Amino acid sequence: MNKVKGKLIALGGGDDDGLIKLIHSKICNLTSNIEVIATAATEAEESGQAYKEAFEELGCNKVRFMRIDEEHPTDTQDNLARIKQADVIFFTGGDQVRLASFLNGSKLLEILRTRYINEPIIVSGTSAGAAIMSDKMIYDGYGHYSLIKGEMKTTTGCSFIKKVYIDTHFAERGRFGRLAHAVAHDPDYIGIGLSEETGIIIKEGNQVEVFGPGVVTIIDASEVTFSKVRDAAENEPIAVENLKMHLLVHGYRYCLKEHLFQPVEAGSAMLIAGLQDKGANEQAIGAA
């Protein structure tokens, strides 16, 4: 089977300047076509235009905001033509269920998924825009209540990658319980919890590398020896034995298919670190 040629870049929410700079650096061509999709956002037009301007401030001169909502259908001829030419897709934060509802079943998403597999494009997003990347996504579950049967809820994502749950604002909003519950319920899935201002680059549909200053939590149920999740009664707490967890930071990767935690090659790690340092220096200069 051929390796996936595209890359997924996902951020856990919060300040996304580092994500935008990283995407910009990966383009290596200021004339690349960038499409911003802000369907998830409450104020979609305002959010889309703000991200468009953020990319333009870095020198990107082919950035467009693709309007998809109740008044602007997904599969217009213009949208389909633009998605065929895009080098980078950026999904903003907001409501992931809303975003997925406009994309799933569309010709636009079908084209984008095919291109992601066969071409070196970048599919990126923050918060809700990160959560929709897998074939299933969590959309509800709060604190310790999420460890009770029926309190954690999932639905269909956009299937750029499969057998993964990506959860965002992970440490800040206490979402360990709901991600652990989701993975215990579907033990062939890997859980990826993204802290704010911290994200992942998924290469070849398998290698998960970290960027940003925080921690990415990996939850793996492949070696669970006992589980009372599917058989638990509604409103009953779940029980699981031997659920594994890893804490991933910049300089390390997790290989999804191999269930393998390992250091990143020095060159790749130094590149990402350099980009992060550059972003921090620019912010410091701007604040001076």
Average pLDDT over residues 82-106: 98
Whole-prediction pTM value? 0.91
Residue 26 lies in a domain: yes
Q: 82 falls in which pLDDT band (50, 70, 90)?
A: very high
Residue 1: inside a domain: no
Does residue 13 belong to any structural domain of this protein? Answer: yes
d(CA 99, CA 168): 15
Question: Which amino acid is present at 59?
Answer: G
Helix (H) or strand (E) holding 272: helix 266-287
Strands 239-241 and 207-211: unpaired
Parent domain of 130: 7-287
- Integer CA distances (angstroms), 179 to 72, 132, 195, in order: 34, 15, 13
| Residue 281 tokens, joined | 């220096």
Burial class (CB in 10 A: 0-12, 13-18, 19+), 49: middle
Q: What digits encode the pLDDT tens for the residues 232-286?
A: 999 999 999 999 999 999 999 999 999 999 999 865 655 565 555 555 444 443 3
Total Cβ atoms within 10 A of residue 282: 13
CA dist 139 and 141 (Å) reads 7
Take residue 226 and report the two structure tokens written for it. Answer: 């006992």
pLDDT in tens, 141-179: 999 999 999 999 999 999 999 999 999 999 999 999 999
Whole-number pLDDT of residue 25: 83
- Strand, helix or coil for residue 148: strand
**pLDDT for the residue numbered 287:** 38
pLDDT, position 277: 58
Q: What is the CATH number of the domain that holds 230?
A: 3.40.50.880
Number of domains in the chain: 1
Least Cα distance to 2 among 256, 206, 200 occurs for 206
Tell me, yes or no, whether 2 lies in a domain: no
CA pair distance 40, 99, nearest whole angstrom: 5
